């Protein structure tokens, strides 16, 4: 049985990654997954994580993201890949490095070590970064019903964006950066051309 392809979609809130991940999954017969919260245990963790009324220190937040991820890998992602199913993920470990590491200042080396513990060898074949500037993201976002992450200040989102770009720069073989200010169709065309280079 040939292992499925594993592609992750990343970017700051409102970059359009969920739309693209769902589209690719539908077009390539892949399984769509997301983090945080894509399991019964994960859904509970997600409700605490996004609750604006629950203050949480960045390390606690990291462990909750990692708990969700570890459970997700073992119960959903790894079994799917092992059975030959392709997996398209809306966020994965790079979100924790970007948001909790670059964004909230948790030590990156510590986070990388904890990530290894959480995901083992389950690394993506490719991470697609849909990059948009923070002003464009803010314009797109509805101003009401913000969660704890969406209500964070503009500098936080700038750091998250820079973190993503730094990770992508450092490993161009496993990252693909696409300009998220283009139309959804243009973004789709760019992503599909890169995905076609993976063996499916
Ligand atoms: P998500 O459901 O992807 O929201 P959105 O569609 O708005 O991007 O993720 C919810 C929030 O959780 C989002 O603001 C990013 C944050 N997050 C982290 O801070 N660290 C993580 O490891 C993950 C997976 C998400």
Q: Is there a domain that residue 150 lies in?
A: yes
pLDDT band at 1 (very low <50, low <70, confident <90, very high): confident
Q: What is the CATH number of the domain that holds 39?
A: 3.40.50.300
What is the spatial distance between Cα 75 and Cα 50, in angstroms, rounded to a whole number? 22
Query: Does ligand 1 have an atom closer than 6 angstroms to the CB of 35?
Result: yes
In this structure, the residue with its CA closest to atom 14 of ligand 1 is 149
Q: Residue 185: give the domain boundaries.
A: 6-195
What is the spatial distance between Cα 160 and Cα 63, in angstroms, rounded to a whole number? 18
Q: Is there a domain that residue 1 lies in?
A: no
What is the spatial distance between Cα 111 and Cα 95, in angstroms, rounded to a whole number? 11
Q: Is there a domain that residue 153 lies in?
A: yes
Q: Is there a domain that residue 200 lies in?
A: no
**Which token pair is 6?**
């594993």
Task: Report the percentage of the chain scoring pLDDT > 70.
Answer: 96
Query: Does ligand 1 have an atom closer than 6 angstroms to the CB of 13?
Result: yes
Closest ligand 1 atom to residue 91 Cα is 24
Q: Is the pLDDT of residue 144 over 60?
A: no
Q: Which of 9, 13, 76 to mutate to test the pocket of ligand 1 (most atoms within 8 A of CB)?
A: 13
**Which token pair is 175?**
């990252």
What is the spatial distance between Cα 50 and Cα 121, in angstroms, rounded to a whole number? 28
Q: Is the pLDDT of residue 133 over 80?
A: yes
Instruction: Give the chain's domain count.
Output: 1
Question: What pLDDT was estimated at residue 55?
Answer: 87
Distance 26 CA to ligand 1 centre (A): 22
Mean predicted confidence (pLDDT) in 162-186: 97
Q: Is there a domain that residue 89 lies in?
A: yes
Alpha carbon of 89 to those of 20, 80, 162, 177, 200: distances in Å?
Answer: 10, 12, 21, 16, 16
Closest ligand 1 atom to residue 37 Cα is 2
Distance 28 CA to ligand 1 centre (A): 24
Q: What is the pTM of this model?
A: 0.95
Nearest 5 degrees, angle CA 10-CA 12-CA 16? 70
């Amino acid at each position: 049985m040939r292992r499925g392809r594993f592609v992750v979609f990343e970017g700051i809130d409102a970059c359009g990654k969920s739309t693209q991940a769902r589209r690719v999954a539908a077009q390539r017969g892949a399984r769509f997954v997301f983090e945080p919260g894509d399991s019964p245990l994960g859904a509970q963790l997600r409700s605490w994580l996004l609750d604006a009324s629950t203050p949480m220190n960045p390390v606690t937040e990291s462990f909750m993201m990692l708990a969700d991820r570890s459970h997700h890998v073992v119960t959903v992602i790894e079994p799917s890949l092992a059975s030959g199913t392709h997996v398209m993920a809306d966020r994965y470990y790079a979100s924790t490095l970007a948001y909790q590491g670059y964004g909230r200042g948790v030590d990156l080396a510590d986070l990388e070590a904890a990530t290894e513990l959480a995901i083992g060898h389950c690394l993506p074949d490719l991470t697609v970064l849909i990059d948009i500037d923070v002003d464009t993201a803010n314009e797109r976002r509805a101003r009401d019903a913000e969660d704890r992450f969406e209500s964070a200040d503009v500098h936080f989102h700038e750091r998250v964006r820079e973190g993503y770009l730094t990770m992508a720069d450092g490993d161009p073989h496993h990252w693909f950066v696409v300009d998220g200010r283009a139309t959804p169709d243009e973004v789709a065309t760019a992503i599909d051309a890169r995905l076609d280079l993976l063996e499916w």
